[in-house]
Structure 1
Amino acid sequence: MTIDDEIFARMGELSPAEKKVARALLSTYPSAGLDSAASLAKSAGTSTPTVLRLVSRLGIGSYPDFQKRLREEITHHMNSPVSRTEQRRLEHEQSDLFQDAIAGKIALVEALATSVPPSEFDNAVQVLASKPKQVTISGGYFSRYFAMLLAAQLDQAIPNVDYIQEPLGHDIGKFLRVSTGGVAIILDFRRYELAAKQVAEVARGQGATVIVITDQGLSPAAEAAHIVLPVVVDGIPFDSVVGLVVLLEALVEGVLLATGERGIARMKQWENSVDIARAYRTSVSTDSTSTSTD
């Protein structure tokens, strides 16, 4: 097992400080591990002893031994006949553009299995299914559309969910209600926004559980997060949202299943309300037609 696979598999065993180091490593693997322990600690926002504890937890005797294993992994990958053959095939194979695009999107969805640690996903589901007092969801310039989608769907599974467009602006009243027992979900992707980091820090300072959904480079907001869900977004010409949509749908599905009868009852309330609204609109439309033909 490679070091990154081992870190990924054991993410649930790590302390919060060790998770920061692990995320920093995984975000720019393996290059982050080739820096000094002090540099890695600085990029992760932790201390050198924390880096060394993580290395020890992986069963590696020292940081130089850790770097030696990294270099061996790199050498093996570069010298692997399979790797060389695959790279050559990709460079020279003529392929159908549309089929290529489909394959690329499928690969992004499959990458969720190696970018989102199962323990982090399970923690997010548990936190949201455990009757949080308040859930606020916010996003950035583009990711706000997906924050709105998540809020709209999650609100059908659990109560007290709010999409907040400007948590540090005109929506600050709603945002400041999030405190101990509440959850703040923040979406922030590359070309990261300073506001996302500020929102995460304020929410954590108020005692809320902070969940950051970001790309593999990790938003600066992740530094203040309790749970980080990184999605691979590589795409041409723009970053792809395919993996993000699948993650959000999986999260909503997981929360609904975890809430059991509570979630089903919540959805029934929604469906009944929709039926009433549709009946009302139909009635109004019929009355208007009758009036106009009299």
Structure 2
Amino acid sequence: MTVRSLIDRHLADFSASDTRVARRILEKYPVSALGGIGDIALQSGVSAPTVTRFVKRLGFKRFADFQRAIRLEVQDSEASPLALFRKHQSQPAKRSDPDRLMVEQMTGSLRKLLETPTQRALDKAASILANARSRIYLLGGRWSSAAAQYAAFQLTSLRGEVHVLAPQASGLHEDRIADFTRRDVLLAYDFRRYQAETIAFCQTAKQRGVQLVLFTDLDLSPIADIADVVIPVTVETTSPLETLAVALAATDALLGRLVRKLGPQANRRMAMLETLRRDANTPKLL
């Protein structure tokens, strides 16, 4: 297992300080990990002992062992383009079946949702969303807003006080944040290339005390530094375009947990909504 994959595996389980170190290392990996402890600590905004504890959490006894493992990765990666070329040459059938390649890669990405840190992050997020006293706000960027809209549609079936935000609309940024309290939850989707408006909104909202749940990619949005829960997912695919499929699957996993936590409350709400929709679409006799 590579050092990068070790970091990816533990992302959802890191403390806020560990997350800052992880994000700085992943930003320009592997070069960003090959400086001194002091350099990494300074760039991450943490102390040198925090960096030392970070590498120990990854399973390395010393910082030198951590860097040695990365140098070995670099040596291996220098030969990897030729190795991959030869592999593709030996498997022409797979090369001509892009759909199969995409499904296989996607399956591997979905399996990562079963890893323990991600499972714990989903459990924690579900507990936050299940608080009946909280209002839930959902936010995405130009691309990821589709995931936020999907989550909001499903959440509305399960509980009340669900609101989709569009902070790019004039004045909405300040107006919404003015109403935030410590009981409120902000569920944000932010994937590379990270959107400045989304980051700024989350930073200001966090100052108002909201609980922040973040879906992001494995490189981590800057929002991860302040989020209460970080759920990292894969956006890469064999297609030329990145995908929201894994993010939506993780959202479904979160929603499934919420259904189980709410229990009869969710059933009553869904039954009520069905009745209201039926009555609203049935003509009344005059």
TM bucket normalised to smaller:
0.7 to 0.9
The one of 258, 265, 269 equivalent to 1:266 is: 269
CA distance in structure 2 between the aligned counterparts of 1:110 and 1:137, rounded to whole angstroms: 26
CA distance in structure 2 between the aligned counterparts of 1:269 and 1:247, rounded to whole angstroms: 27
Residue aligned with 2:52, SS:
helix
Task: Give a deviation string over 1:33-81, Cα, whole Å, max 9, x none.
Answer: 333323433454433331112234455443123212444566678899x
CA distance in structure 1 between the aligned counterparts of 2:231 and 2:245, rounded to whole angstroms: 15
Q: Which amino acid letter does the alignment assign opposite residue 18 of structure 2? A: E
CA distance in structure 1 between the aligned counterparts of 2:101 and 2:5, rounded to whole angstroms: 27
Q: 1:5 to 1:98 in 2, by over 3 A?
A: closer
Residue 169 of structure 1: CA displacement?
A: 3.5
Residues 8, 117 of structure 1: 8 Å contact kept: no
CA distance in structure 1 between the aligned counterparts of 2:243 and 2:7, rounded to whole angstroms: 26
Q: 1:9 to 1:141 in 2, by over 3 A?
A: closer
Residue aligned with 1:46, SS:
coil
Q: 1:39 to 1:93 in 2, by over 3 A?
A: farther
CA distance in structure 1 between the aligned counterparts of 2:194 and 2:271, rounded to whole angstroms: 38
Where do residues 98-137 of structure 1 align in structure 2 (5 Å cutoff)?
98-113=99-114, 117-137=118-138
Aligned to 1:88: 86
Q: 1:191 to 1:72 in 2, by over 3 A?
A: closer
Q: Which amino acid letter does the alignment assign opposite residue 178 of structure 2? A: L
Task: Give a deviation string over 1:189-216, Cα, whole Å, max 9, x none.
Answer: 2122111111111111000111221222
Percent of aligned pairs with the same residue? Answer: 25
Residue aligned with 2:250, SS:
helix
Q: Does 1:276 align with 2:274?
A: no
CA distance in structure 1 between the aligned counterparts of 2:228 and 2:12, rounded to whole angstroms: 12
CA distance in structure 1 between the aligned counterparts of 2:10 and 2:243, rounded to whole angstroms: 28
| Structure (1 or 2) with the larger CA radius of gyration | 1
Number of matched pairs = 281
CA distance in structure 1 between the aligned counterparts of 2:163 and 2:114, rounded to whole angstroms: 29
Q: Does 1:36 align with 2:36?
A: yes
CA distance in structure 1 between the aligned counterparts of 2:110 and 2:65, rounded to whole angstroms: 34
Q: Which amino acid letter does the alignment assign opposite residue 108 of structure 2? A: A
Q: Does 1:257 align with 2:260?
A: yes
Task: Give a deviation string over 1:238-259, Cα, whole Å, max 9, x none.
Answer: 1112112211211211211122
Residue aligned with 2:142, SS:
coil
RMSD: 3.3
Q: 1:76 to 1:38 in 2, by over 3 A?
A: same
Residue aligned with 1:184, SS:
strand
Aligned to 1:63: 63
CA distance in structure 1 between the aligned counterparts of 2:103 and 2:112, rounded to whole angstroms: 14
Aligned to 2:201: 199
CA distance in structure 2 between the aligned counterparts of 1:8 and 1:104, rounded to whole angstroms: 16
Aligned to 1:290: none
Q: Which amino acid letter does the alignment assign opposite residue 15 of structure 2? A: S
CA distance in structure 2 between the aligned counterparts of 1:31 and 1:225, rounded to whole angstroms: 26
Task: Give a deviation string over 1:155-180, Cα, whole Å, max 9, x none.
Answer: 22222110011277333423432220
Residues 2, 73 of structure 2: 8 Å contact kept: yes
Q: Which amino acid letter does the alignment assign opposite residue 187 of structure 1? A: Y
Q: 1:252 to 1:238 in 2, by over 3 A?
A: same
Residues 143, 188 of structure 1: 8 Å contact kept: yes
Q: Does 1:245 align with 2:243?
A: no
Ranges in structure 1 where 5+ consecutive residues have no aligned partner = 288-294
CA distance in structure 1 between the aligned counterparts of 2:204 and 2:134, rounded to whole angstroms: 17
CA distance in structure 2 between the aligned counterparts of 1:182 and 1:268, rounded to whole angstroms: 26
Task: Give a deviation string over 1:83-133, Cα, whole Å, max 9, x none.
Answer: 997763335422323333333333333344469732222221111112352
Q: 1:169 to 1:220 in 2, by over 3 A?
A: farther
Aligned to 2:19: 19
The one of 209, 217, 220 equivalent to 1:218 is: 220
CA distance in structure 2 between the aligned counterparts of 1:152 and 1:110, rounded to whole angstroms: 25
Residues 167, 175 of structure 1: 8 Å contact kept: no
CA distance in structure 2 between the aligned counterparts of 1:150 and 1:54, rounded to whole angstroms: 33
Residues 120, 227 of structure 1: 8 Å contact kept: yes
